[in-house]
């Protein structure tokens, strides 16, 4: 059990959220409006894959499922890196089993540019942290990353993809990611549920899918 980008972001919002994901996932409740936003984000991400023209997508699913085959994606990514593919989407990387899939990886003369796509009109702190986790994993895999961008949803629907350079902010979070990723790894493996009390983290930056469980638990106590 290692840490993915989603694990990291959820664990940093609330360690108990990550623990429940791993040990009691059937307790989660995703409100319809939240699922609709997730679906819209996925659609926007799919459209963004072509923002630089032709690309190769690394997504591979286990047969008969919608579960990503990470091993196959890692191998496919390495093959395309070796071949010099100009634009790779959902490029998969793993370091000590910690894993991420980069929305868009674009080759440059001196290395690569990393693009994280967000269906939102402005940069938010959690988006930068999201990109920082990916940068950390990719750099640990010794791939040279020159710049990091967030791709936002602009007002022009004919050309909605607006890249914003967040390279310096992301690089500045490298040690922060390194300082937390191993703690989250250990925490998610523990047998006992973390004793995190409900608070602001239940709704910020995202509404927790275990809100009902934790607040009902609080009422019982």
Query: Is 90 inside any structural domain?
Result: yes
So what's the pLDDT on residue 165? 98
Query: Is 221 inside any structural domain?
Result: no
Q: What is the mean pLDDT of residues 65-83?
A: 97
* pLDDT tens for each residue of 151-188: 999 999 999 999 999 999 999 999 999 999 999 999 99
Question: Burial letters for 127-160: b for 16+ Cβ neighbours within 10 Å, e otherwise?
Answer: bbbbbbbbbbbbbbeebebebbbbbbbeeeeeeb
Compute CA distances 54 → 2, 57, 153, 211, whole Å: 33, 10, 21, 42
Query: Is 201 inside any structural domain?
Result: yes
| 144-148, 161-165, 205-209: least confident range | 205-209
Cα–Cα distance for residue pair 187/169, rounded to 1 Å: 27
Query: Is 150 inside any structural domain?
Result: yes
Question: Burial letters for 164-197: b for 16+ Cβ neighbours within 10 Å, e otherwise?
Answer: eebbebbbebeeebeebbeebbebbeeeeeeeee
Range of the domain at 82: 5-216
Query: Is 109 inside any structural domain?
Result: yes
* Whether the model pTM is above 0.85: yes
Domain count, the chain: 1
Nearest alpha carbon to residue 191 among 4, 2, 3, 24 = 24
Query: Is 105 inside any structural domain?
Result: yes
CATH number of the domain to which 157 belongs? 3.90.320
Query: Is 62 inside any structural domain?
Result: yes
So what's the pLDDT on residue 216? 85
Q: Tokens 């609080």: give the residue.
A: 218
């Amino acid at each position: 059990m290692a840490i993915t980008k989603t694990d990291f972001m959820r664990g940093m919002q609330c360690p108990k959220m990550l623990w429940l994901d791993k040990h009691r996932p059937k307790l989660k409740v995703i409100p319809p409006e939240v699922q609709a936003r997730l679906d819209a984000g996925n659609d926007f991400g799919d459209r963004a894959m072509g923002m630089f023209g032709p690309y190769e997508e690394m997504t591979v699913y286990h047969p008969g499922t919608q579960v990503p085959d990470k091993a196959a994606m890692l191998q496919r990514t390495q093959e395309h890196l070796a071949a010099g593919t100009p634009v790779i989407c959902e490029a998969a990387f793993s370091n000590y089993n910690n894993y991420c899939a980069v929305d868009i990886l674009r080759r440059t003369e001196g290395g690569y540019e990393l693009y994280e796509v967000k269906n939102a009109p402005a940069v938010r702190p959690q988006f930068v942290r999201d990109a920082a986790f990916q940068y950390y994993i990719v750099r640990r895999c010794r791939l040279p990353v020159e710049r990091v961008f967030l791709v936002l949803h602009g007002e022009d629907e004919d050309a909605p993809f607006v890249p914003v350079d967040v390279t310096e902010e992301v690089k500045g979070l490298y040690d922060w990611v390194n300082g937390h990723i191993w703690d989250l790894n250990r925490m998610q493996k523990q047998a006992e549920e973390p004793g995190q009390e409900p608070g602001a983290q239940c709704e910020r930056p995202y509404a927790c899918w275990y809100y009902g469980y934790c607040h009902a638990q609080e009422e019982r106590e």
